[in-house]
Chains A and B, each alone.
Chain A
Amino acid sequence: SQKIEQNSEALNIQEGKTATLTCNYTNYSPAYLQWYRQDPGRGPVFLLLIRENEKEKRKERLKVTFDTTLKQSLFHITASQPADSATYLCARSYSGGGADGLTFGKGTHLIIQP
């Protein structure tokens, strides 16, 4: 079955630096990879979606890449701020809207230190 793997250990980054989070998947390539942010006690919030035939997507300080050779997506936050501290979740879907639901990784806890 398809697995989504994220480094579940906390990632500590100094404010102002670029934070890079990794999402690896096994088996066949998902049609879409989505990234979400989750704050404690809250539901996930959508950030970015990238299709398997796209190499890169950007939104403000956020950038996501998709490498089907490495079976990996990287999520970058440039000029990081303490307010970016949260858990970031990677998820795969086979339709853009997630008709069949999403398969999530366990998430990476990002801490931006002032």
Chain B
Amino acid sequence: NAGVTQTPKFQVLKTGQSMTLQCAQDMNHEYMSWYRQDPGMGLRLIHYSVGAGITDQGEVPNGYNVSRSTTEDFPLRLLSAAPSQTSVYFCASSYGGGEYNEQFFGPGTRLTVL
């Protein structure tokens, strides 16, 4: 299994541009989520999904959209990039059944908005 994959690894955008960060998992996990990590702020939840067709907002959802059309994929869309969205973005997934289910994180996407 490849686990959780994220593309691209690095991205530079200009203010106002839009883009989609891709996230895929091959473990048949129900739960998926997106986090951003900033120096001194820790990981903060952007959006999450408990299954295909179901998404909800996390702590910092403004400026981001998500959709979940398949179990495997959970893309994160930046509608109009702003310098404040410069960050490292992590996607995570977990099984969703039982109680002791670890979260698997992807390698991250480092985004710079100029």
User: Least Cβ distance of B85 to chain A in Å?
Assistant: 19
B98: chain A residues at CB < 8 Å are: 96-97
B108: chain A residues at CB < 8 Å are: 41-43
**From A32, A44, A101, contact of B105 by CB (8 A):** A44
A97: chain B residues at CB < 8 Å are: 30-31, 94-99, 101, 103
Complexed CA–CA distance, A8 and B41 (Å): 10
| Interface size of B in residues (CB-CB distance below 8 Å) | 33
Say what secondary structure dominates the interface of chain A. Answer: loop
User: Least Cβ distance of B1 to chain A in Å?
Assistant: 15
Contact B45 A102 (CB under 8 A): yes
Given contacts A44-B90, A89-B42, A97-B31, contact A102 B103 (CB under 8 A): yes
Task: Give the contact-size bracket for chain A.
Answer: 20 to 34
In residues 80-101 of chain A, which contact B (Cβ within 8 Å)?
Answer: 89, 91, 95-101
In residues 47-101 of chain B, which contact A (Cβ within 8 Å)?
Answer: 48, 50, 56, 58-59, 90, 92, 94-101
Contact B42 A98 (CB under 8 A): no
Complexed CA–CA distance, A11 and B33 (Å): 30
Contacts beyond the supplied A97-B95, A97-B96, A102-B43: 7 A-B pairs with Cβ under 8 Å = A42-B108, A43-B105, A49-B102, A95-B99, A98-B31, A99-B48, A106-B41
